[in-house]
Amino acid sequence: MSVQPLVETLEMNLQLNRGDGSPLGYFAATMLRLLRSLEEQGAATPFAIAAAGLYVESYEAYQAGAEDIPHCWRIALDAAAIPQWHPYIAPIQHLVLATNAHVHFDLPLAARKLCASPKELATHKDAFSDYSKRVIEALVHAQTITAKTSPLQDLLESFYLIDGAKLFGFNPATARKTAWRVAALVLGQAEEAQMGTLDDYDGLVSAHAKEIREPREEGQKVIDFLRRFDGDRDEQGVVDLIDALEAR
């Protein structure tokens, strides 16, 4: 298994994102940067490749107009692809939406694809932990980049931070632990029940995604005000941010 096909696909997608001035490129650029790092450091484990591949699969299926993609990914990708959403969603929200879907849903699904039992999953525990940690680190890095184009992002984050841990209700540490528990739970079931459980779980992750995308009314008022000062409100601003997120 090689990470290179994923890198090449993301590179092609990013060219399209730049041409369209689309926020779809924010997470794609973040993932491309992460995958190149995995490749350079020899850390592209089978689990990392499987998990990253699920994001790419959802992205490609969405772009092709497929209906059968995880609902949590549809919410995140709609927010980035549909122009009507753009004035209301800050760059950091796009990244949190995608990270929410990737960590919460793709990681347990990758475990199911690679493993036949909880015992086999245990052999991938270090790889699972390493990859999920790197995804969160990628979000933290992206946060520092988006802050440069969103000068009032710190005010937005302070409005949504709870106990200093959650951003838009997304708690990185809890997400990683939840993903591992769900993976173990699913693999402990009979095979015919596994996808049903994952579908139900997708519903829970999707409900969380809607809260990230559509905050309570007073929160949206804060976002609407702060978005006036963001640098990605035109196509060139989006492209500039994609470039900054991809850069090493």
* SS3 (DSSP) at 97: helix
Q: Structural domain boundaries of the chain? A: 4-246
Helical axes 91-101 vs 153-160, angle rounded to 10°: 50
- CB of 169 within 8 A of CB of 229? no
The tens-digit pLDDT sequence of the chain (248 residues) is: 689 999 999 999 999 999 999 999 999 999 999 999 999 999 999 999 999 999 999 999 999 999 999 999 999 999 999 998 888 888 988 999 999 999 999 999 999 999 999 999 999 999 999 999 999 999 999 989 998 888 878 777 666 654 445 567 788 889 999 999 999 999 999 999 999 999 999 999 999 898 888 766 666 777 787 788 888 888 899 999 999 999 98
Q: Within 10 A of 146 (CB to CB), how many other CB atoms are there?
A: 22
What's the pTM?
A: 0.93
* SS3 (DSSP) at 117: coil
